[in-house]
Structure formats: structure tokens, C-alpha cells
Structure 1
């Protein structure tokens, strides 16, 4: 029996009750359930090649089903099978090239570089394979066919629609800072943070998705006036030897000189109008200008993904053996990537280096209990005892009918239970799951090009959730994503006035800048149009008992006032500093 919608109340107290995703070490091999490890069948695999093929097929099956069997032994078994698969492989094939080793030793501790050359596959490698398989599934489905720039634009647009920005600190655990999230976790929770460039979760996701299309993406850096060190600005996709600019903070590609398409870095340097078009004087200035880039004492640099899996030769060996539906990009030669970016930068090149954040997050997830606890905080409603994670994974894989059926089945029900169908679910957990299910149903219909149903569920979110503020839980920030998506839908339906009204709504993240740019473009098309009508106010509901502080809006580098750094601008710092030991390198 379906139940009536109940008033939204706080859910912060569940943080300690739910475990979130598991980043613990695997169980010992002796504890693994029988029948899961690969056992060669002498009839089915009479020769070495047949046996290896069966082992690899088993690995892919284990990884493919791991997300729907959380807490199981899949990752440990997959790593064990991979070690069987490569047992007879020449050890020299696991070594980095001299050029790659030299490049990495200039930025990583020697012990870490040596670890990249290990021949043994571990739990982390199995997770890397799972991550890349999901990125591949999403990227190839969303990108479709066509030239690389068109495909990258579709992926970027999908990311902006599906991943809501939230202020730094808003997903923090009690007594801890907010943990920086890897792209897989960002996809799962549907929320990302962009702060000061170096903490760029949307940017990291864009890098990861484009890699599965064979497109290199890096973070562009430069040194503004008054700064000593370079800061990260936005993403650059390397296509046909040109650097195309995408700003994940505001959810917009940088428009070309005529306001159409996507600008290249060369165009942004040559024509001041390209970046000035993103400026909103008196509202939300866009700091980065052609003159600021040209005057950078460090010139223009690129930060590339430092995820250990992408740098390890053993992942390259595995990638070469994956074919057909299993084909997945697991490795990227850092030297080849560096050289291509340097060539594209030309005389403006300030060097290409590793972006520290991916490496740091990977290490902290397997070494720092506080960081793991903070990560689990933002994923608390994806605990495997709850039904949400299973529907969400199916949604991300593009299995929309199954995902929709599951969302409809467990949302707004009387007497909800956990996955075991026996244990009662707390009212707070059910209310949070109702919100997630409603928002994700809207996204499912949006991805299936069903705008009417998407609009219905987005508007339901606006009726359900109060405005985010003191005493309101983080899920209320889905209002912002619903408003932005309704604006896009209204624009597509030929209703610019309603689109402007939705774009102008409150949003405490830098996505608001992009929304206002879109609204201004619509207003300029018909300057004499009447002002947009007011939208219904958000519901006023009782504040929850557990109060979550509301952070101030963040203006990262490039969206503050033009010229010198303004007073009160956030300090650019290592985003993982709160979780590092004193004097620890990387």
C-alpha cells in the first residue's frame, strides 16, 4: 500500500547508523565462500589459452556483479583470478618505460613509483576495473556517435544535468571535514563539489568519462596577478591537437568567438570577448581573462589524472586483453599524454604535471579511517541494507525500465523494510530514499527523452523539499538541480520566460553563475519581453533536530572580482590537507 507524503524532516542522525560503501581490506582467502573462485573445467578448458579465457571471463563476471552484491568477496576473487591469469607473463612487461619512470619520479615518492610496477593485482586494482567499466558504460551510451568534440559535449552536458553541485563542507561527517570523492562515488550520490579549482569533483568525473572515449582531458592552470603559485581553472579536452574549454564549476563549455560551439584555448587567448562573455558585472564576475592568462608568470599548465590504476603497466596488460563488450580503457601512458598536451599548448606551455588529488584520494581511502568515515557519510543512504543502491546502479548502467520499477516499488510505501523484507526501515531513512527516488526518476525520464515525466518528478521535488538552509539536510540541495533542469526543459519547450525564472532561483554553488549566464542569453534574444512570472515559494516545513551548518556561497578562483584577489576570497589549499599526517608528501 502506498502512503501519503509526509513532511520532510532531518536525516543527519543516520550517519552513524549506516555503513556506506566498504573500503575495508578483503577477507582472508580461507574465508571465501566455496564455489566462487575459478575452477578450470578440463572439458571446457583443455588448453592454456582456453583456461586463460575462462579465467578472464570469470574476472569480468565477478566485477560486473560486484555492485549488486556489495559486501561480498567479488573483488578479492577477481584479484586472485587476475594473478592466475598473468602468472606466466614475462616480468619485464610489468615495468614502466624509462621515460615514464623518470616523469613519475619527479613527482611521486620512489616507493610509490616502484609499487606501480608490481606484478600482483590487488583489491584496489579490482575496484579500478569496476570504476572504469561503469565510466565506459555511461560514456559510450551518452556520447553516441559523431566527432570527438560532439561526443565530449554530450558527456559534459549529461554530467551537468545529472550531478548537482553542493558547497564544500555540506556533506561533511560530524567532527570531520567533507571527504573528496572519487568519480564513482560522485556518480552514486549525484552530488559533487567544486572549490578553488584543485578540488574539482565534476572535473575529475569529466576526465574519467572522456578517457573511455579516448579523449585526454586535463585541468588548465595559470598564475593570477598577486599569486605565487598556479591555480586550477577549468577542463581542457584535447581533440585534434586543440584544447577545448569546459568549465565544470558553472556547468558550461566556454562558447566560441561567435557565441557558438566550444572555444579553444588559443581562441580564448587571442580574443578577449571569448571569456568576457562569461562575465556578469555586478552579479557574479568571471575573473579569468585573456590578459590574465597571457600575463601568467608560470604560463599555462595542465594537470593530468594521477589515479594509480591509470599509471600501472599491469593495467595496460589487462586492457589489451579485453575485447568486445568487455573493452575498457584502464591505462594511459603519462609521457604520451604529457607530450600531446605540451604540443597543443605550444609557446604558452608552462608544463604538464600530475594532479595530486586523485592519487591522494586513492591512498586515503585505503589508509585513513577518518577519511573513510567522512566518505561513508556522504553515501549513507547507499548502504547495501537499503534498496537505493541497487536501483541507482541500474540507472547509471542505462537499465532504465528496471531502475524505474525499483524506484517506484520502494518509494512512498507504507511500512517500509530493509532489503531483507523483514526489518522495518526508520522513517528518516525512508524519507531520504523517497527524495532520492523522486529525483532519480526524473533523471531516468530525462535520459530517455521523456520530458513530460521528467518535468512531473522535478516539480514533485520542488513541492517536497524546503529551501536548503540552517537545520535542513543536504538532500534539500536537490532543489537546485530540479530548478536548473526545469529551466532547461522550459527552454527546450519554447518557454524562455519560465526558463529564466527557474535559472534565476537560489543556488549557493558556482552553478548559479552558469544558470545566470544562460538566463542572460535568453533575455538578450527578446529584450522587450515582459519579466518572468514569480514561481511558487518552497514549502515551509519543521526544521530537523540535527542541525547541519549552512556554508557561505563559494566563489572559486575565476569567479571572483576581476583584477587582484578580492578581500575574503577562499585560500587555495590542498583539499586533502585535513586528512594528511604532518609533513607527509603526497
Structure 2
């Protein structure tokens, strides 16, 4: 009888035990609409409670490591992170509120991966090449020279993640010019104001939908990590100074590293401009790098000799090496599964084993971003004018009052693939949220003179506020509304594309985003995506024409894509209006043959 009562007691405890892992993931999914400070405390609490409740089981599991030490590869961050801070980040056994942004980032990236790994995200330029790989693999199943079907699947997933990154992260210049009149704060050596790569985090790049090419590298490698695919930023290294200069992303599949160039928005084409080049091919065949030139327009800065040796830079945070992250990850299964921990030493060894890789280390950009962000916040606390510029740029989607931020809610729905309304739950999808953000122009214009409209938007003139000051606030609100409207318009066009509505997407990009009366910083991304929409709808010649408009920082990559698309057209088509590119390709073929 006592044994039966004990069993019942255990069963009752199990039934009433709170699902702390479920609460953790649920809070991460709701993060955008929660009070951030409260959410951080709750998430850290539930993660720690799960660790405590499962302490006995975890102690005997393969994921437990009571004798953990700081991994050797973490030493590459020693110049930027103090020893005690490094030990705290990696070896601290319990979760704190400082860990929550890392968990939020991992959850967001894994939610993106969950829906974009599908055929609608295939880049049609490489469809025949992938089909050829599968055919060769089936015909030569016993050959070590061909990728296995599983490896081809992983490569295809990486290609989908890259293509989504290029389409959804609008390309910015490496360095942004600050507004006229803004006093630039003193910067540490080697960290220029608004410099490349580190001016925003990978999460912010994903959330804001724009960034420079190094930030595209960050987003792509984070997506690969959540898909379980080893990826690293490849960098050349100066023999004189030791300076490392990133040039592309390498994805490790089997024993080969496949090359993806986020600055160009293309996988680096293989020999004869077919497929995705491997590092081995780029080191052997000079034409692989040479054909990244666009004759008369752009010269690619690197050649075969320049990339003969590269360093693999792993885009991981110190927290990614922490045993507590490994323990928490072990409990995340099924729909909750996400990558929180990687064996960075193992990744480094695998990359280092590939010919042409001269060592692997942790990429310093994420750590520099943390230092930069802390510094900017300190400056903003002291300088109201700087604070306004620093925070107002993205206030339309990163407002402190997140519960009232319709654009932020729409963005979360977009990033998680929830485009349509959920009538059962009564939840609006991304499409509806974005449409609601598109206030009519006359309404925006009337905001300064219509008191009732001001009330609808929660605006009121406080006691002691001068009329001129209140009018300035209203003008600022008008600017935010227009930015929010144009951002929502651009993102809505992207939703149409990802929903397979290519003609509708093209109309939105060309007639709404590129409307001369609705100018915005989304124009460059809209030109590229309008071309991709034409391409997906089967209008290749229109896509080529759009890619050659030469209107933005992505022109080099756009012209390369136009050249690759031109090769897919029937040979009896009318002669291209830009014959110089075709002639240059023919000349390269002769030159390459002579070189051999």
C-alpha cells in the first residue's frame, strides 16, 4: 500500500510540475510584445528551474560536464574579453538575464529556418546543377568523389538560406555617413563610428531587414548554425601585418567548402560559371575568381593567388561554448529544437583539415558589436541629440511600447512564416499587420492640424510644452509614420514573393516601393527583388533589364546575376544590348584555355 501511495505521489508531482522549458520557449516566442526587462527575468528563471529539476538526470547524461574548461578556440577572443568576464560567460552554471538576448536570437533564427527550407526558396539559376548532382550521386553510389544524397540535401538547404538572406537583407554600404551636424563621439582604435559589420548585431540585421555585406555574412551563418550546417566566414591574412580580411562565407559539406559571396548576393559560380564553386576549385582554376569581374564595370578585388590560403572565422559568441547552453539544448526537442551550443573546437578542426584553410578562430565581429553597442548607449545617455539620432532611426519597429507596435508584430509574423490571419486564434498575420501600417498620405499630412486624429494616435500636448515644440514632435511622428508605411510596403512585397505570388510581388516592388513619390532607403532592395520576381515568373529578359539599372550598392552582383541569366536564354535570342559582358566571357574562355 505504501508503495502504491508513493507512486501516486510521484505521478501527482509529475502532473503538477510546471513545464519550464515550454514556458521558456513560449516567452521567447512572445518576446516582441512583452516588457523586455520582465521577460528577461522570467526566461532566466524558467531556464534555471528546468536545470534544477533535472539536475539528477543531467548529471549522468553525456551533456553534463562538471569539469568543463574554457575551450582552446576561445583564446582568440582574449584580447577583447577580460579573463574573468570570459570565465563568467562560458563557465557560469546558471542563467542570468544577460543570457536572454542570446536565447532570443537563437530562437528567432531557428523559427526562420523552420519555414524557408522549402522548394519555393530554391534559386532557379542552380536548379539544373543540383539535379545533376543528385543524378550523379545515384549513378555512382559507391564513389567517394560524389556527394551523398544527405550531403546534397544539406547543400541545398544552405543555398536556400543564402538566397533568402540576400533577398531579405537589403544591402547597405560598408560605412554609413552620419547625419550633418551630428557630433561624432571619440572611438577606440580600430572601431570606426558606424563601421562595417559591427554597427548592429546579427539579430538586429535580421529584424531590421538591412545591413552591409558582413552583416549578411552574420545572418547567413546564424541560419546555417540553426540548420546544423557548419559555416564560417573566410578571410585572407596579410603576411606583413597579420590582418584578416573577410571575403566570403564557406559552407562545409562533406570534405569540401562551398563558397557564397554575400557582397555580390551570389554563390561564387563554379568552373564554366556552373553550379557553386568549392574552395578547391577556386584555388585550382583561375577563371573562377576572374569571372567575378564585370568587364567595363567592376573588378573583383581578389584573384586565385589571393585566396590560396584563408582563415576560417566561426560566427559564435562566448555563450555558444557554455556547458549550461549544452544542457538546455539537450531538453529542446521536436518543435522546440534549437542550436544553443556548438563544439567549436571540432568545427575548427574540420575546417582546418580542408586544403586552403590556414587555421580557424572565432570571428571577432560579434564581440566588437557588443563593445560598440555598450559604448553607443553610454554616449546616448549623456548626449540627448545623439540619443535622438541613435534611437529614432528604428523607433518605428523597436519602440519601448512594443505591445502597441503593429509593425513589430507584423515583422515577427513575417520572420516566422505566418503570413495569413489565424481565424481560430484571432491573430492577424503579417500581411494584415503590414496593410494596417499603411496609413493614407492625407491622414499623415493632416496629423499636425487634426486634434481628433492626434488623439487616435495617442498624441497630446502636455502641460508646459510650447506650441513650437509640440509641432516639432508632430513632424517627427509624421516622419515615423511615413518610414513605417514604406517599410511595411517593402516587407509586404517580400511576403508576396515568399508566398509564391511572384507577379503580385513584382507589382508591389515596382509600383509601390519604387514609386517616385514614395522614395525610401528600400529602393536598392526593391530593384533586386523586382528582378527576382520577374525571374521567378519566367520573364528572364525583364529580370536582366532590371538588374542592369545601376542604381545601388549591389550593382556589381546584380550585373553578375544578369550575365548568368543571359546564359539561360535560348541561343537564337536577339543580341544583348550589353554585348561587352558577353564578349568578355568569350575572351576569358580563350585566355583560360591558353593558361591551361
Name the TM tier (shorter chain): 0.7 to 0.9
| Alignment partner, residue 244 of structure 1 | 258
Check the 8 A contact 1:66/1:72 in 2, yes or no: no
| Alignment partner, residue 142 of structure 2 | none
1:61 aligns with 2:37: no
| Alignment partner, residue 380 of structure 1 | 395
| Alignment partner, residue 313 of structure 1 | 323
SS at match of 2:232: strand
1:160 aligns with 2:163: no
- Return the alpha-carbon distance in structure 1 between the equivalents of residues 333 and 454 of structure 2: 38
* Cα distance change of structure 1 residues 430 and 339 upon mapping to structure 2, 3 Å threshold: same
Structure 1: segments with no counterpart, 5+ residues: 1-41, 195-199, 468-474, 534-586
- Return the alpha-carbon distance in structure 1 between the equivalents of residues 443 and 344 of structure 2: 53
- Return the alpha-carbon distance in structure 2 between the equivalents of residues 171 and 503 of structure 1: 26
1:444, CA displacement in angstroms? 0.6
Check the 8 A contact 1:96/1:117 in 2, yes or no: no
Counterparts of 1:183-222 in structure 2, within 5 Å, are 183-194=202-213, 200-222=214-236
Check the 8 A contact 1:236/1:243 in 2, yes or no: yes
* Cα distance change of structure 1 residues 321 and 462 upon mapping to structure 2, 3 Å threshold: closer
1:223 corresponds, among 237, 254, 264, to 237
| Alignment partner, residue 332 of structure 1 | 342
- Return the alpha-carbon distance in structure 2 between the equivalents of residues 420 and 119 of structure 1: 49
1:44, CA displacement in angstroms? 11
Check the 8 A contact 1:307/1:362 in 2, yes or no: no
Check the 8 A contact 1:193/1:202 in 2, yes or no: yes
* Cα distance change of structure 1 residues 218 and 172 upon mapping to structure 2, 3 Å threshold: farther
1:242, CA displacement in angstroms? 1.3
- Return the alpha-carbon distance in structure 1 between the equivalents of residues 503 and 24 of structure 2: 41
- Return the alpha-carbon distance in structure 2 between the equivalents of residues 46 and 362 of structure 1: 45
Deviation by residue 1:76-120 (Cα, 9 ceiling, x = unmatched): 11112222222363898465745x533323542422331110012
| Alignment partner, residue 491 of structure 1 | 535
1:423 corresponds, among 449, 452, 459, to 459
Q: Considering only aligned residues, what root-mean-square deviation do their CA atoms show, in Å?
A: 3.1
Check the 8 A contact 1:164/1:192 in 2, yes or no: yes
* Cα distance change of structure 1 residues 301 and 410 upon mapping to structure 2, 3 Å threshold: closer
1:139 aligns with 2:113: yes
1:500, CA displacement in angstroms? 2.4
- Return the alpha-carbon distance in structure 2 between the equivalents of residues 130 and 419 of structure 1: 34
Check the 8 A contact 2:266/2:561 in 1, yes or no: no
Say which is worse superposed, 451-460 or 377-386, in terms of deviation. Answer: 377-386
1:241, CA displacement in angstroms? 2.2
| Alignment partner, residue 548 of structure 1 | none
1:76 aligns with 2:41: yes
- Return the alpha-carbon distance in structure 2 between the equivalents of residues 286 and 212 of structure 1: 31
- Return the alpha-carbon distance in structure 2 between the equivalents of residues 418 and 118 of structure 1: 50
* Cα distance change of structure 1 residues 139 and 412 upon mapping to structure 2, 3 Å threshold: same
SS at match of 2:306: helix
1:122 corresponds, among 96, 108, 118, to 96
Counterparts of 1:293-442 in structure 2, within 5 Å, are 293-294=307-308, 299-343=309-353, 345-346=354-355, 348-365=356-373, 369-370=377-378, 376-382=391-397, 383=399, 384=402, 385-401=404-420, 402-413=429-440, 415=443, 422-423=458-459, 426-442=477-493
* Cα distance change of structure 1 residues 506 and 449 upon mapping to structure 2, 3 Å threshold: same
Check the 8 A contact 1:311/1:332 in 2, yes or no: yes
1:150 corresponds, among 140, 152, 156, to 156
Deviation by residue 1:232-265 (Cα, 9 ceiling, x = unmatched): 1110011112111000111000112132221110
Structure 2: segments with no counterpart, 5+ residues: 1-7, 120-151, 185-192, 381-386, 421-428, 445-452, 461-473, 579-596
1:421, CA displacement in angstroms? 5.2
SS at match of 2:300: coil
1:283, CA displacement in angstroms? 1.2
1:301, CA displacement in angstroms? 1.1
Structure number, greater radius of gyration:
2
| Alignment partner, residue 183 of structure 2 | 175
- Return the alpha-carbon distance in structure 2 between the equivalents of residues 277 and 418 of structure 1: 57
Check the 8 A contact 1:220/1:232 in 2, yes or no: yes
2:290 corresponds, among 259, 276, 299, to 276
* Cα distance change of structure 1 residues 506 and 278 upon mapping to structure 2, 3 Å threshold: same
* Cα distance change of structure 1 residues 377 and 276 upon mapping to structure 2, 3 Å threshold: farther
1:500 corresponds, among 514, 530, 544, to 544
- Return the alpha-carbon distance in structure 1 between the equivalents of residues 435 and 155 of structure 2: 37
Check the 8 A contact 1:189/1:378 in 2, yes or no: no
Check the 8 A contact 2:271/2:285 in 1, yes or no: yes
| Alignment partner, residue 497 of structure 2 | 446
Instruction: Give the structure with the larger helix fraction.
Output: 2
SS at match of 2:359: strand
1:306, CA displacement in angstroms? 3.3
1:440, CA displacement in angstroms? 0.8
1:393, CA displacement in angstroms? 1.0
* Cα distance change of structure 1 residues 379 and 427 upon mapping to structure 2, 3 Å threshold: closer
Check the 8 A contact 1:392/1:403 in 2, yes or no: yes
SS at match of 1:219: strand
Check the 8 A contact 2:514/2:523 in 1, yes or no: no
| Alignment partner, residue 134 of structure 2 | none
What TM-score do the two structures reach when normalised by structure 1? 0.73
| Alignment partner, residue 581 of structure 2 | none
Counterparts of 1:575-586 in structure 2, within 5 Å, are none
1:520 corresponds, among 563, 571, 575, to 563
1:302, CA displacement in angstroms? 0.5
* Cα distance change of structure 1 residues 169 and 147 upon mapping to structure 2, 3 Å threshold: same
Deviation by residue 1:364-395 (Cα, 9 ceiling, x = unmatched): 44565247757645422212354211111111
1:72, CA displacement in angstroms? 5.7
- Return the alpha-carbon distance in structure 1 between the equivalents of residues 439 and 479 of structure 2: 12
What TM-score do the two structures reach when normalised by structure 2? 0.72
| Alignment partner, residue 584 of structure 1 | none
- Return the alpha-carbon distance in structure 2 between the equivalents of residues 463 and 55 of structure 1: 47
1:508, CA displacement in angstroms? 3.8
Say which is worse superposed, 517-526 or 146-155, in terms of deviation. Answer: 517-526
SS at match of 1:86: helix
